[in-house]
């Protein structure tokens, strides 16, 4: 299959380049063309780049709908045999996966399938299904799913980290049996053999992590917003993505030819010749602009009047660490460690975590690395940690709240970090701190972890800075109090915006409210930076706003010390930093703080950018 992906031709992100370019081209994307018969769908531009290729509809990630019907007395034996056949098929599949894992993965991952095989063969489990089937006289898939639901809910509710992880294993095996009963062919995104554009309702983090990234060239989903975790992972993997289209899975069919424009949030279905020609032209234009930006990669981020800031990268997986240096990052400002925990068993495996953190620190040499402690919950529901009974997961048991209630799990991670800290400059950051009590509890668990390491005679880093994320309005409002106990702040605008405006960041219906330039958000940001400076600590930002070129001058003017962003955004932000004076930026920030609406702030920022960075390339 022929697939063209021009994003790869340049080192840097196109989204910001086009955004930047469109500022002084009347906000009209340069490659807008009128189309006739083909269809165009609009969604949320989530990950930069433009790509053309064939659609692949992926509905496997969803839990199959389980039918429920009665079985007559004379058919019960046949129903039981149908179940046994499905179990045999599942065992064959597990054996295949086990073999593959032994060849391609490490022993730890292969062991998972051994445990799955034992579960599929468990005679007690089969007896339980048989008893229920003959007593209840209902179809096998219904019986299996209800028994498994009861079992897993109990395990999850137990509060024991190990038992919670067993729940995901049981669900995995049971889903295999249910799929076989329903004759749904199992397909893993890891098995992709050709280039595709992935179309899904939503993408689970686990799907995103295991998918064959060499073949997934674009992502289109019904759900999700620009700061949802699917969006964040798409950017981490540099795959163009348009999310939140609502009906993509209904309107696009496998095999349809698509152009996915991750910069403008447009998906063109079955493009005509004119659209294909426009696609090629745009791709060339992006590549040229990206080449132009490459010259900023190795220059320091210092303003024209000598003010130095740090531009760091956000990463989601350890493998990314080695790649970010090519974008000229001053370090890692946010390593979202939670994606590591998708591997079952990892939360209790200090050694495996230690090795991973060590790899990241080593890859960065003497550049600082900020690892955020486990931030599960909200839209990052990992079935091995969470039961499905939270009514409001975004306001629920997530991030630091979750870790404080599982001190053993938390300490395992902290010990691994303390040990890895000897390999470089490590900073640790707690997510979702909402007040001083929470910070004190987390710090005292950290001290316990330290004492445990010392007791075991383990070598640890003694001078690790512990900072906090400011992503809840209560934290921003009490930043002066928190600054007494935190070594630094990092503003998480993705959540700060969500919680200030009460708008779910993953819900496309309220995406219009996700406005980083809302005066309330800007006031929280200013308050946080001012409180940090008054206490003599640094203020960083690691939410998506830090990489938005339109915000760079405003944030500089507000006094932000460190910007941490999608690595591909660094060169353009650096260009803006190096082309501005702190004095001008401060003036801009003062005017911005007087605006009463986000429209006014945006207009001001756009005018400022057009004046300070006039277009150079006519044909951009
Ligand atoms: C944030 O909330 O801005 C942030 C960086 O954290 P995450 O996006 O992982 O929630
Ligand atoms: Mg957050």
Q: Where are the alpha helices (DSSP H) in 240-348?
A: 248-251, 273-293, 321-324
Q: Is residue 617 part of a domain?
A: no
Q: CA-CA-CA-CA torsion for 403, 405, 411, 412, nearest 10 degrees? A: -70
What mean pLDDT is predicted for residues 120-130?
Answer: 90
**Residue whose structure tokens are 């220059």:** 299
Residue ID of nearest Cα to ligand 1 atom 1: 492
Q: Is residue 68 part of a domain?
A: no
Q: How many CA atoms, within 13 angstroms, populate the side-chain half-sphere of residue 4?
A: 16
Are residues 299 and 275 part of one domain?
no
pLDDT band at 468 (very low <50, low <70, confident <90, very high): very high
Cα 468 to ligand 1 centroid, rounded to whole Å: 12
Same domain, 204 and 162: no
Tell me which of 236, 253, 279 is where a domain ends. 279
Same domain flag for 305 and 438:
yes
Distance 545 CA to ligand 2 centre (A): 12
Q: What is the CATH number of the domain that holds 329?
A: 3.20.20.60
For the CA of 493, the nearest atom of ligand 1: 3
Express as a percent the part of the chain with pLDDT over 70: 86
Q: Within this chain, do residues 566 and 598 fall inside the same structural domain, yes or no?
A: yes
Over the Cα atoms of the chain, what is R_g?
25
Is residue 149 assigned to a domain? yes
Coil, strand or helix at 583: helix
Of 279, 312, 340, the one marking the end of a domain is: 279
pLDDT at residue 391 in the model: 81
pLDDT of amino acid 16:
36
Given this model, what pLDDT does residue 25 score?
30
Do 474 and 434 belong together in one domain?
A: yes
pLDDT at 356 over 90: yes
> Quick check: 225 pLDDT over 90?
no
The number of the ligand nearest the C-alpha atom of 314 reads 1
Q: Are residues 357 and 424 in the same domain?
A: yes
Tell me the pLDDT band of 34, cut-offs 50, 70 and 90.
very low
Do residues 225 and 373 share a domain?
no
In the reported structure, the alpha carbon of residue 192 is separated from the centroid of ligand 2 by a whole-number distance in angstroms of 31
Q: Which domain holds residue 195?
A: 4-60+189-279
Q: Give residue 11's pLDDT.
A: 29
Q: What is the CATH number of the domain that holds 199?
A: 3.50.30.10
Which of the listed residues 116, 150, 182 is the one where a domain comes to its end? 182
In a domain? residue 619:
no
Look at 223-237, 314-328, 397-411 and tell me which has the smallest mean pLDDT: 223-237
Question: What ligand 1 atom has the least distance to the C-alpha of 471?
Answer: 2
Residue nearest atom 9 of ligand 1, based on CA coordinates:
336
* Residue 385: pLDDT band with limits 50, 70, 90: low
**Count of the separate structural domains present in the chain:** 3
Residue 259 lies inside a defined structural domain of this protein: yes
Q: Are residues 313 and 347 in the same domain?
A: yes
Judgement on whether residues 493 and 523 belong to the same structural domain of the protein? yes
Residue 284 lies in a domain: no
Question: Which residue's C-alpha comes closest to atom 4 of ligand 1?
Answer: 492
Tally Cβ neighbours within 10 Å of residue 584: 18
- The answer as to whether 450 is a domain residue is yes
Q: Which of 93-97, 157-161, 347-351, 462-466 has the lowest mean pLDDT?
A: 157-161
Burial class (CB in 10 A: 0-12, 13-18, 19+), 190: middle
- Given a cut of 90, is residue 187 above it in pLDDT? no
Residues 139 and 194 in one domain: no
Distance of CA 543 from the midpoint of ligand 1 (Å): 5
> Is 229 an active-site residue?
yes
> For the chain, what is the mean pLDDT?
86
Chain segment 513-552, per-residue pLDDT in tens: 999 999 999 999 999 999 999 999 999 999 999 999 999 9
Which pLDDT score, from 0 to 100, does residue 232 have?
81
Looking at the fold, whether 436 and 573 belong to one and the same domain comes out as yes
Mean pLDDT of 175-186: 80
**Which ligand is the nearest neighbour of the Cα of 490?**
1
The reply to whether 253 falls in a domain is yes
Compute the distance from residue 492 Cα to the ligand 2 centre, in Å.
5
Instruction: Clarify whether 542 is annotated catalytic.
Output: yes
Residues 461 and 599 in one domain: yes
Q: Using alpha carbons only, give the angle 410, 415, 419 rounded to the nearest 5 degrees.
A: 150
Choose the catalytic residue: 403, 453, 542, 585.
Answer: 542
Q: Atom 6, ligand 1: which residue's CA is nearest? A: 492
What number of other Cβ atoms are within 10 A of residue 559's Cβ?
19
Residues with CB under 6 A from ligand 1: 227, 334, 336, 375, 471, 492-495, 542-543
Which residue in 5, 229, 307, 386 is the catalytic one?
229
Model pLDDT, residue 524:
98
Residue 144's CATH number? 1.10.274.10
């Amino acid at each position: 299959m022929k697939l063209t992906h021009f994003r790869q031709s340049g080192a840097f992100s196109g989204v910001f380049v086009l955004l930047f370019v469109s500022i002084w081209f009347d906000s009209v994307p340069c490659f807008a063309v009128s189309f006739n018969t083909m269809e165009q769908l609009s969604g949320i531009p989530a990950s930069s780049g433009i790509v053309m290729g064939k659609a692949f509809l992926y509905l496997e990630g969803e839990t199959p709908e389980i039918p429920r019907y009665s079985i007559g007395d004379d058919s019960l034996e046949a129903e039981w045999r149908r179940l046994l056949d499905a179990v045999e098929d599942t065992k064959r599949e597990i054996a295949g996966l086990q073999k593959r894992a032994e060849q391609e993965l490490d022993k730890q991952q292969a062991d998972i399938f051994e445990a799955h095989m034992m579960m599929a063969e468990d005679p007690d489990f089969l007896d339980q299904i048989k008893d229920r089937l003959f007593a209840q006289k209902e179809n096998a898939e219904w019986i299996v799913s209800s028994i498994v639901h009861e079992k897993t809910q109990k395990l999850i509710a137990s509060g024991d980290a190990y038992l919670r992880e067993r729940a995901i294993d049981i669900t995995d095996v049971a889903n295999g049996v249910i799929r076989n009963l329903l004759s749904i062919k199992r397909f893993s995104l890891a098995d992709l053999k050709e280039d595709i554009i992935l179309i899904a309702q939503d993408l689970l983090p686990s799907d995103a992590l295991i998918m064959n990234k060499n073949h997934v060239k674009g992502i289109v989903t019904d759900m999700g917003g620009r700061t949802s975790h699917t969006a964040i992972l798409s950017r981490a993997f540099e795959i163009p993505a348009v999310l939140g289209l609502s009906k993509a899975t209904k309107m696009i069919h496998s095999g349809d030819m698509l152009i996915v424009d991750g910069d403008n949030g447009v998906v063109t279905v079955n493009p005509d010749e004119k659209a294909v020609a426009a696609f090629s032209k745009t791709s060339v234009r992006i590549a040229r602009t990206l080449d132009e930006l490459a010259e900023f990669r190795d220059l320091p981020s210092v303003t024209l009047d000598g003010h130095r800031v740090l531009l760091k990268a956000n990463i989601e997986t350890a493998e990314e660490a080695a790649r970010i240096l090519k974008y000229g990052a001053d370090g890692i400002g946010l390593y979202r460690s939670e994606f590591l925990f998708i591997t079952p068993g990892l939360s209790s495996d200090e050694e495996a975590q230690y090795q991973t953190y060590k790899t990241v620190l080593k890859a960065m040499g003497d550049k600082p690395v900020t690892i955020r402690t486990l931030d599960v919950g909200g839209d990052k529901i990992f079935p091995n940690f969470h039961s499905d009974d939270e009514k409001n997961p975004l306001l629920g048991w997530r991030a630091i709240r979750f870790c404080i209630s599982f001190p053993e799990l938390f300490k395992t991670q902290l010990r691994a970090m303390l040990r890895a800290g000897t390999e470089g400059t490590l900073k640790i950051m707690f997510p979702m701190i909402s007040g001083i009590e929470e910070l004190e509890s987390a710090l005292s668990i950290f001290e316990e972890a330290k004492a445990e390491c010392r007791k075991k005679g383990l070598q640890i880093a003694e001078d690790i800075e512990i900072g906090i994320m400011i992503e809840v309005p209560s934290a921003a409002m009490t930043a002066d109090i928190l600054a007494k106990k935190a070594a630094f702040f990092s503003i998480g605008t993705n959540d700060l915006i969500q919680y200030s405006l009460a708008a779910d960041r993953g819900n496309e219906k309220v995406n219009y409210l996700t406005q980083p330039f809302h005066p309330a958000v800007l006031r929280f940001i200013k308050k946080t930076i001012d409180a940090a400076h008054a206490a003599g600590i640094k203020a960083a930002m690691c939410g998506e706003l830090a990489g938005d070129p339109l915000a760079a001058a405003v944030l500089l003017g507000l006094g932000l010390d460190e910007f941490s962003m999608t690595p591909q955004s660094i060169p353009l932000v650096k260009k803006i930093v190096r082309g501005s004076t702190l004095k001008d930026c401060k003036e801009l920030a003062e005017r911005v703080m007087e605006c009463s609406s986000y429209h006014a702030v945006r207009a001001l920022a756009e005018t400022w950018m057009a004046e300070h960075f006039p277009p150079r390339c006519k044909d951009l």
